[in-house]
Structure 1
Amino acid sequence: MSLSRRHLLALGGAGAIGSIASPQVVRAQAPEFTYKYANNLPDTHPMNVRAREMAEAILKETGGRLQIKIFPTSQLGSDTDTLSQLRSGAVEFFTLSGLILSTLVPAASINGMGYAFKDYDAVWQAMDGDLGAYVRGQISKAGLVAMEKIWDNGFRQTTTSNRPIVTPDDLRGLKLRVPPSPLWTSMYKALEASPVSINFNEVYSALQTKVVDGQENPLAIIATAKLFEVQKYCSLTNHMWDGFWFLANRRAWERLPEDVRKIAAKHINEAGVRERADVAKLNAHLQQDLASKGLAFNQPDPLPFRDRLRAAGFYKEWQGKYGEEAWAILERAVGKLS
């Protein structure tokens, strides 16, 4: 069937005037470089909307020399699998959470430090400034290239079935699902909760059957996973911020001529900034939408949570793990933590 369609298109093109036929000839020429870009988000997420625009702009401005093919929704494998492919060069570009990248680059999770960032202004000042530059330097040591602008995943919020989270005392004894990560487990133990590591595909049933009382995630995930069906409260704790580093395999990146690299980096970074604005609008819309579905919202004061973590020695512990240089850069951006 596809052969017939191509044959018909060819016949139609043969009778067309030259001004119409010539763009088809240009399009038929193979790009000099065809790179794969993988991510773990749905095709409709702002990340992929902006990535498609980005890829089209790069193809156009490079005169067709660099084509980027996008593979959303973990089509090429899990985050761990795709990171391995990125390192080997089987995938040229990949966007990955710093919290997951920390399995390879420990400093990459520092942006997820509990209750460090008070708002987005503080996030972008740090991640577009010295803290982001430090993490990119550490990523470079692992043989990867991180683009200058980190993309937004969002602040994480807490949902529960039995009570809203207003003060740190409300977390005491709370059975809370967390991803398998030392940073999460350490933070919630310091807040006297009972963190339980559960794979995300089991979260809905764990909440439904009361294996856990609550969980934490950005609003977009709370909405798409329909967690509002099995939770009553959403406390806007903003306890962690996470973003996606746009990563390139170093060998693949350096194979590109310098002028092509400049064009690619420019459009990737511009797309990242637009995605940030998109996510901010999406979050505002999602809160209203989730409230209309019965989820009760509240916004607790973050300072008592910070004080509790400080008193429990949480910040001192992670200061030791990240090292003095990284910790000093973080505190210059967010204020004294430890």
Structure 2
Amino acid sequence: MTVPRRAALGGLAALALAPCGAARAQAATRIVINNDTQATSLKGQTWELFKREIEAELGPRVQVQLHHSGTLYDQRGQVQALQLGAIQFIAPVAGIYAATAPKLAVLGLPYLLPTPRALQAVIEDEDLSRALFGELRAKAMEPVAFWLNGHRDVGRRGTPILRPADMRGVKIRVPAGANYVEAFRQLGANVVTIDWGEVPTALAQGVIDAVEPVANAWLASKLYEIANHITRIGYVLDFYVVCTNKAWWERLPAATREAVRRSLGKATEWNWANTERINEEAYQRIATLGATVHALTPEQRAEWREAMRPVWARLGNPLLGEEVMQRLARIGETHG
């Protein structure tokens, strides 16, 4: 898969520089990364690769602290922590930024941008990119890369969810983004937005009935052991927006910033090249461990798309306007 020209937008940011004086030039640049998923997830693996690359580039001149599973900050708290400069890297899904940058929720509207090619086309369109990501820069964050995660699929315990009508009354956990919430409210589900770290307990205790992560997250979290019927509805092509603190990024010495860019570019290239393989292998593994993975026919997938499509106008038009939404829809159809 070709990595988009702007998938790595120039780097990462927020590196804590050492104190003033002669010690500054010799002290290690400190990079603190908050990963809200497990180390074995696709994002966890991508962060680990970035860590290895930047340490190889800068050696003792850099000190990288990588925290997995939201042990430092949870999904919602990490955005504010980055804005305040408490950490240097985050990469939540676009919807997690929605409270700070509402327009980003549009990129995760159900079935709007169904393939990596469609996402790539949006990222590389300068006008669309400026309209969608300008809010982040205005809020002290610099988007520096885009990493794929995969298609989000729905699952629950006992009986499969095969048709949109099966969602009525189901208590489903989704990330705290308007695109995820409205997609399932449209189907009559009871939507819950608890933090990812709370999901296994909530599912085991019956607080929620269903979840909708991607294949690699199903495997890494072992949620398939509880929600043992997974249906590949693929309603969102999930991706991560890698961000850093804008002011800190701009203060980095040029040589350090270029080293970070190169390392981030290598991690991004690996992520785009391996996402599909990792997710397919995850589903194969899940099936061997006893869960049932249901595939949809083209007709069934079309039914899901039509059932969720009203969310495009209800959420997208007020945020971006009808003209921009039509442009995004054309991109999705062209590259679907």
State the TM-score, normalized to the length of structure 2.
Answer: 0.78
2:247 paired with 1:251: yes
Q: Structure 1 residues 90, 179: CA separation in 2 closer, same or farther (over 3 Å shift)?
A: closer
Quote the residue 1:308 is aligned against.
307
Please tell me whether the aligned partners of residues 127 and 133 of structure 1 are also in contact (alpha carbons under 8 angstroms). Answer: no
Deviations 1:92-122 (A, max 9, x none): 2222221111111111222211122333333
2:328 paired with 1:330: yes
Quote the residue 2:136 is aligned against.
139
Please tell me whether the aligned partners of residues 152 and 243 of structure 1 are also in contact (alpha carbons under 8 angstroms). Answer: yes
Quote the residue 1:154 is aligned against.
150
Deviations 1:179-238 (A, max 9, x none): 444333322121233334445455445444555432211122222332222233211011
2:290 paired with 1:294: yes
Question: Equivalent of 1:70, from 63, 66, 71?
Answer: 66
Between 1:270-279 and 1:204-213, the stretch displaced more is 204-213
Please tell me whether the aligned partners of residues 106 and 316 of structure 2 are also in contact (alpha carbons under 8 angstroms). Answer: no
Q: Structure 1 residues 196, 86: CA separation in 2 closer, same or farther (over 3 Å shift)?
A: closer
Q: Structure 1 residues 91, 208: CA separation in 2 closer, same or farther (over 3 Å shift)?
A: closer
The whole-number CA distance in structure 1 between the counterparts of 2:204 and 2:71 is 29
Counterparts in 2 of 1:187-206, with a 5 A limit? 187-206=183-202
Deviations 1:124-157 (A, max 9, x none): 333454555543333212221111x301222211
Corresponding residue SS for 2:92: strand
Q: Structure 1 residues 253, 215: CA separation in 2 closer, same or farther (over 3 Å shift)?
A: same
- Equivalent residue pairs, number: 305
2:204 paired with 1:233: no
Corresponding residue SS for 1:321: helix
Quote the residue 1:102 is aligned against.
98
For 1:333, the aligned partner's letter is: I
For 1:34, the aligned partner's letter is: R
Q: Structure 1 residues 328, 139: CA separation in 2 closer, same or farther (over 3 Å shift)?
A: farther
Please tell me whether the aligned partners of residues 234 and 296 of structure 1 are also in contact (alpha carbons under 8 angstroms). Answer: yes
Counterparts in 2 of 1:1-338, with a 5 A limit? 30-31=26-27, 33-61=29-57, 65-129=61-125, 131-132=128-129, 134-147=131-144, 149-300=145-296, 301=298, 302-310=301-309, 313-324=310-321, 326-335=324-333
For 1:189, the aligned partner's letter is: R
The whole-number CA distance in structure 2 between the counterparts of 1:80 and 1:210 is 23
Please tell me whether the aligned partners of residues 31 and 67 of structure 1 are also in contact (alpha carbons under 8 angstroms). Answer: no
For 1:335, the aligned partner's letter is: E
For 2:325, the aligned partner's letter is: W
Q: Mark the runs of 5 or more structure 2 residues left unpaired by the alignment.
A: 1-24
Q: CA deviation at 1:283?
A: 0.9
The whole-number CA distance in structure 1 between the counterparts of 2:42 and 2:241 is 15
Q: Mark the runs of 5 or more structure 1 residues left unpaired by the alignment.
A: 1-28
Please tell me whether the aligned partners of residues 146 and 240 of structure 2 are also in contact (alpha carbons under 8 angstroms). Answer: yes
For 1:195, the aligned partner's letter is: V
The whole-number CA distance in structure 2 between the counterparts of 1:168 and 1:101 is 27
For 2:279, the aligned partner's letter is: N
Deviations 1:276-331 (A, max 9, x none): 33332221111111111222222224222222234xx3221112332226524422
For 1:224, the aligned partner's letter is: A
Corresponding residue SS for 1:335: helix
Please tell me whether the aligned partners of residues 95 and 180 of structure 2 are also in contact (alpha carbons under 8 angstroms). Answer: no
Q: Structure 1 residues 199, 58: CA separation in 2 closer, same or farther (over 3 Å shift)?
A: closer
The whole-number CA distance in structure 1 between the counterparts of 2:67 and 2:200 is 26
Quote the residue 1:8 is aligned against.
none
Structure of higher RCO (CA pairs closer than 8 Å, 6+ residues apart): 2
Corresponding residue SS for 1:95: coil
Q: Structure 1 residues 215, 39: CA separation in 2 closer, same or farther (over 3 Å shift)?
A: closer
Q: Structure 1 residues 272, 183: CA separation in 2 closer, same or farther (over 3 Å shift)?
A: same
The whole-number CA distance in structure 1 between the counterparts of 2:63 and 2:198 is 37
Please tell me whether the aligned partners of residues 172 and 192 of structure 1 are also in contact (alpha carbons under 8 angstroms). Answer: yes
For 1:334, the aligned partner's letter is: G
The whole-number CA distance in structure 1 between the counterparts of 2:222 and 2:174 is 17
